[in-house]
Structure 1
Amino acid sequence: MIQPQRQIAVSDALCIYQDLFPQPPRELQIEHHYLLYVSFGAMRLEAEGAAWSLPPDRAALVAAGTPLRLLLNQKMSVCSVLFSSRFAPTPRAPLSVFEMTPLAREIVKECGRTEEDEPLSEYRLSLFRTLQMVTWRLADTPSKATIPTGKSRGVIRALAITESLLAEPLRFEDVSRMTGQTPRTLARRLLAETGQRWGGKFCGECE
């Protein structure tokens, strides 16, 4: 449910597929439990001072009422599954980003074959019940692949440049130059604010 201005009635469960293009960050706070899955591309999710990348091998389970910030910097296909609080129990954590299994991906795909205004048959309801049980269980083992976040303007800018240019050859000296810092200063600030050094592991967390 990427569009916050749109009010959608959910009696039990609903699956919405959207093709999205680069756009300004979105602030969301959904009144239903919310499974967010990107089947193509990747988005960045931020909440409570932490950040995650959502490529097709991960998903996010968000409890009703939890505020989010979504950054959509590339073309992507997004599947949003909404569960009413009467249909699904409250997740153990307000937000959990977890690794998707092949089973979970196939169930999401099948749930998405239902039109938004189509009444749910017993077959569709059983699919949503299965998806809820599978993803709630997966969410109990959250991913440790968080994206480093900074505090100072220079580090925040360096992180944004690194994330946006992952597909291109990128040197640390180039990042420091683009942020107006010496390599030594940027390296010191990165380590102090993120606990990591710029390099393979650092860049890998942004993917």
Structure 2
Amino acid sequence: MHIGSNAFYRIFEESFATGERSFDADYLLFASRGAFVLENKRRQWLLPPQRAALIACGTSISVSSKGPATSSSILFRNDELGLTEGELRVFVMSDLARLMVAQAMRWGGATEPSNDQAHFFHALASVVAELSLIQLNTWLPRPSSSGLAKAIAVGLADLGRNIGFGQLAQSGAVSERTLARLFRRELGMTWTEFRHRARMIKAMEALAQESVTEAGFQVGFESTSAFIRAFKAFSGQTPNAFKRSVVNSPRHARSP
């Protein structure tokens, strides 16, 4: 029984971007150190070590990192995860799941698992499939129209200050009324809601390198206490707890 035969471990010492790609099997994408940015046509997710993504066979994605990161990811066989075509689930990794992935990395590169390893991969597939039933909302929607995309690019370029909505509309070469309608129609939220979500996600990226105060300042919070409250309300944990989970994530003993 060929259940899961590939475990991938790779250390990235610098930033990288894969470009659009897909896999010929269902895939667990997991950064055991650092953080990945995962994108499809509709959404973008940040994947620090306490999160992972299950990606259905053939689904087009792109993956990048803005700093050092370690990939500890697995290809599953025989439809063990029960994913439908094009499905992508982002979820919280449990301690058990992280330990099981760490063990699987010791077998990375094997062309065919032993019987014991095959049963282990089967158990891991069951664990992550169950975890993925509770999906996270820490995603950033991606626009489809050029006008909205241009306006968002200007807004995202400087999340540390409150850019006027009129300036965004000018950047997208549309009226403010049209831009507001595009936000609702394409993203399902207002600019204010989008900006807050974007600030929290950018803060997550910054926390891998910066202090809590500096991360909050970068996304427009002059008060550290206000940033902590906003971050906890969005992510469910304090910035310090999030920072520890990213910076202090254990690196596997095995070399890639």
SS state at 1:117 partner: coil
- Separation (CA, whole Å) in 2 of partners of 1:120 and 1:158: 49
Q: Percent of aligned positions with the same letter in both sequences?
A: 24
* Residue 171 (structure 1) aligned with residue 161 (structure 2): yes
Q: Deviations over 1:109-158 (max 9, x none)?
A: 11111141375333322321111001111122211111143443433323
Closer/same/farther in 2, CA of residues 89 and 173 from structure 1, 3 Å limit: closer
1:102 pairs, out of 95, 100, 106, with: 95
SS state at 2:57 partner: coil
Residues 36 and 63, structure 2, Cα contact 8 Å, conserved in 1: yes
* Residue 158 (structure 1) aligned with residue 154 (structure 2): yes
Structure number with the higher helix fraction is 2
Structure 1 stretches lacking a partner, 5+ long: 1-9
Closer/same/farther in 2, CA of residues 72 and 160 from structure 1, 3 Å limit: farther
Amino acid at match of 1:46: E
Corresponding residue number in structure 2 for 1:16: 8
Structure 1 residue 56, shift from structure 2 partner = 1.1
Residues 11 and 84, structure 1, Cα contact 8 Å, conserved in 2: yes
Counting only pairs closer than 5 Å after superposition, residues 88-99 of structure 1 correspond to structure 2 as: 88-92=80-84, 94-99=87-92
Structure 1 residue 55, shift from structure 2 partner = 1.2
Corresponding residue number in structure 1 for 2:55: 62
Residues 43 and 140, structure 2, Cα contact 8 Å, conserved in 1: yes
Structure 2 stretches lacking a partner, 5+ long: 205-256
SS state at 1:29 partner: coil
SS state at 1:203 partner: helix
Closer/same/farther in 2, CA of residues 189 and 57 from structure 1, 3 Å limit: farther
> Greater CA deviation, 99-108 or 69-78?
69-78
Counting only pairs closer than 5 Å after superposition, residues 33-112 of structure 1 correspond to structure 2 as: 33-85=26-78, 88-92=80-84, 94-112=87-105
Closer/same/farther in 2, CA of residues 55 and 89 from structure 1, 3 Å limit: closer
Corresponding residue pairs, total: 190
Amino acid at match of 1:12: G
TM-score norm. by structure 1 comes to 0.73
TM-score norm. by structure 2 comes to 0.61
- Aligned-residue CA RMSD in angstroms? 3.5
Corresponding residue number in structure 1 for 2:235: none
Higher Cα Rg, which structure: 2
Structure number with the higher strand fraction is 1
Corresponding residue number in structure 1 for 2:110: 117
- Separation (CA, whole Å) in 2 of partners of 1:34 and 1:99: 16
Structure 1 residue 107, shift from structure 2 partner = 0.8
Closer/same/farther in 2, CA of residues 149 and 129 from structure 1, 3 Å limit: same
